Amino acid sequence: MKMLGAVLTMLVLGGCSKQATPARDTGVDGADAPSFDVRVDVRADASDDADGSTGPDGPVQIETTSGPVGGEREDGRSVFLGIPYAQPPVGERRWAPPADLIWTTPFDATSFGSRCPQPNIAFTSLVGDEDCLTLNVWGYDEGANKPVMVWFHGGSFLQGSATEKTYHGQDLTLHDVVVVTANYRLGALGFLAHPSLPGRNFGLQDQLAVLDWVSANARALGGDPGNVTVFGESAGGIAACLMVAGGHGEGRFDRAISQSGPCTGLLPLPDVAAAEAQGDALAAAVSCDQAADVVACLRGLPQNDIVDALGFRLGVIFGDGAAWVPVRDDVLVPIDVEVALATAATPMLMGSNADEGSLAIIAANQGIIEIDYTTATEQMFGTRADVIRAQYPRAGYPDDVEAVAAILGDRFVCGTRRVARLRANAGHAVWLYHFTHSFVTPIGDLGAVHGSELPFVFGTELTLVKLRDDEIPLSELMQRYWSRFAVTGDPNGGADVAWPPYSTAGDSHIVLDTEPSTAGQLRTSTCDFWDGVDDA
């Protein structure tokens, strides 16, 4: 049971271990890795016909701008796995912009590529390989012109991969969309900033390279390059929001979905000076700070020396260790994200879960982390900690963990509402949801915990827990909403509960549960409090 809790915690948020420096595991998929993260062979059982042709199922090949790609058709739906979208970011290409990769012989896209270097789920070892810039495609139909949905995973910009079973796109493609999932560089390898480095935010650059590759190859994938939706959860949702704020949609995507990923009011994004100070600390930690060429020294080190040089911070928001997150550099990420959000017209669908903060309770109960109320609030809020503690007095909760969980939960919900209000006040289309369905696992009812909407969006499973029969209608409903939004920018249609566009007057939103409904006043007084904190 402890491992299940660890999987859930690390899968959707990321965290820190009591062990500051994990033991080394140089394998791509270490022994401690979850079973659904290993390379998966999806070859169809059907064999080629004697004349080399194929029936409804079997091998299928497409031509991309990178070269020919061979995948498999299963149950009438084609799957291409592990397609490289850029050159491996190794050697001189470590901390360099993603570069095009070309091949001439057919690329075998029938198994997943490696995850990017990262700590494993329990932070006891390091797994992954730098040669990880790959993407996966579900739903190809020759000659089709389907909307394309491009997914970026969560994991605090530190963990996760597009190989995870939760993100497999077969079920979502039944709603007549092409689904693309992709890896991007994580941790220090993706978000190091240093005065000697010409550039930063390499993980975000990878994501934009994915979108460029999709745009160039949408027709070959059976998709419409003029109808692309970027979507993601947690860190992936924050990335989608930042892409909108940065104005990066032109020629790349038309709409954005952010699940539990508000890009303001939750995650502190450093400016260049703060990020480079952390980069200096990393260089010193690996004895490269006095080198004649600091970058060459860093590029010459084994990947694991870089990955865990400064330890890891729980959920990025509080805890000891480094936080490798996007940097506000006014190149890819605006200095003032909120101002930028008010000017970017890209339609957005976004939301949060009712019990986001219970993830901290799970992690503490499983012995993965220790949470002290006073320390955590000081780390999260600095000089504003007293204001937060007055709103969330320790005496009002059973223990330190419950108090911090309440703060985190409201921070997710209210940060999401804040972005929705910024967008709506500027006259831009935004659709807000609140997911309230409880996620029941072998370790108990976790409520609508962070990440628990994922199996409903993809129709898959989370930490080996599959949807129950009575939950399938909610999954199908959410897939209809998500795919309709991808088609038109409006989730509504058919006989489904009408989803009102968000308005600041009443906080109009949809409540997603087995009995969906519309509502207003989303934690209004609490979120008004947080708006005041963020405005101060």
Q: What is the DSSP string of 197-261?
A: SS---HHHHHHHHHHHHHHHHTTTTTEEEEEEEEEEETHHHHHHHHHHHTT--TTT-SEEEEES-
Q: Which is higher by pLDDT, 107 or 317?
A: 107
Identify whether the C-beta of residue 474 lies closer than 8 Å to the C-beta of residue 437: yes
Q: How far is CA 203 from CA 74, 100, 152, 199, 350, in A?
A: 32, 16, 11, 11, 22
Q: Is 74 a catalytic residue?
A: no
Q: In terms of Cα–Cα distance, which of 353, 257, 322, 358 is closest to 8?
A: 358
Identify whether the C-beta of residue 351 lies closer than 8 Å to the C-beta of residue 259: yes
Q: What average pLDDT does range 144-158 have in this prediction? A: 95
| Maximal CA-CA distance, the chain | 76
Tokens 């979905």 belong to 257
Q: What average pLDDT does range 485-497 have in this prediction? A: 96
| Assessment of whether the complete model's pTM goes beyond 0.85 | yes
The confidence score (pLDDT) of residue 3 equals 35
Q: How confident is the model at residue 464 (pLDDT cuts 50, 70, 90)?
A: confident
| Residue 150, token pair as written in the block | 């491009």
Q: Is 181 helix (H, G, I), strand (E, B) or coil?
A: strand
Q: Is 368 helix (H, G, I), strand (E, B) or coil?
A: coil
Distance CA 281, CA 278 (A): 5
Of 78, 450, 453, 509, the active-site residue reads 450
Chain mean pLDDT for the chain: 87
Query: Residue 420: is its pLDDT beyond 70?
Result: yes
Q: In terms of Cα–Cα distance, which of 319, 391, 471 is closest to 13?
A: 319
Bridge partners for 228 per DSSP = 148
Q: Is 356 a catalytic residue?
A: yes
Q: What average pLDDT does range 350-379 have in this prediction? A: 86
Distance CA 398, CA 361 (A): 12
The confidence score (pLDDT) of residue 145 equals 93
Query: Residue 470: is its pLDDT beyond 50?
Result: yes
Q: What number of other Cβ atoms are within 10 A of residue 176's Cβ?
A: 14
Q: Is 153 a catalytic residue?
A: no
The confidence score (pLDDT) of residue 340 equals 94
Angle at the Cα of 356 (from 243 to 155), degrees rounded to 5? 50
Residues whose CB falls within 8 Å of the CB of residue 85, separated by 6 or more in sequence, listed in order: 66, 98, 101, 133, 134, 135, 182, 209, 210, 213
| Residue 186, token pair as written in the block | 């994580």
Digit-coded pLDDT (tens) for 66-78: 999 999 987 777 9
Identify whether the C-beta of residue 299 lies closer than 8 Å to the C-beta of residue 95: yes
Note the Cα 310 to chain centre separation in Å.
23
Question: Inter-axis angle of helices 235-245 and 202-217, to 10 degrees?
Answer: 80
The confidence score (pLDDT) of residue 241 equals 96
Distance CA 33, CA 150 (A): 25
Tokens 């160039």 belong to 216
Q: What average pLDDT does range 233-240 have in this prediction? A: 96
Q: What average pLDDT does range 332-353 have in this prediction? A: 95
Beta-strand relationship, 430-435 and 440-441 = unpaired
Counted residue by residue, the chain has a size of 536
Q: How far is CA 331 from CA 194, 200, 272, 335, 339, in A?
A: 15, 9, 11, 9, 15
Digit-coded pLDDT (tens) for 15-57: 333 333 333 333 333 333 332 222 233 322 333 333 333 446 7
Question: Inter-axis angle of helices 358-365 and 2-12, to 10 degrees?
Answer: 140
Distance CA 54, CA 52 (A): 7
Of 72, 74, 164, 356, the active-site residue reads 356
| Residue 113, token pair as written in the block | 């590529």
Residues whose CB falls within 8 Å of the CB of residue 323, separated by 6 or more in sequence, listed in order: 268, 270, 278, 313, 316
Identify the burial level of 118 via C-beta atoms within 10 angstroms of its C-beta, where 0-12 means exposed, 13-18 middle and 19 or more buried: buried
Between the CA atoms of 399, 403, 405 and 406, what dihedral angle is there, to the nearest 10 degrees? Answer: 140
Of 234, 260, 352, 508, the active-site residue reads 234
Digit-coded pLDDT (tens) for 192-225: 999 999 899 999 999 999 999 999 999 999 999 9
Q: How confident is the model at residue 186 (pLDDT cuts 50, 70, 90)?
A: very high
Instruction: Note every long-range contact of 533-536, with CB atoms under 8 Å and residues 24 or more positions apart, other chains counting.
Output: 533/384, 533/387, 533/388, 534/264, 534/265, 534/418, 536/384
Query: Residue 404: is its pLDDT beyond 60?
Result: yes
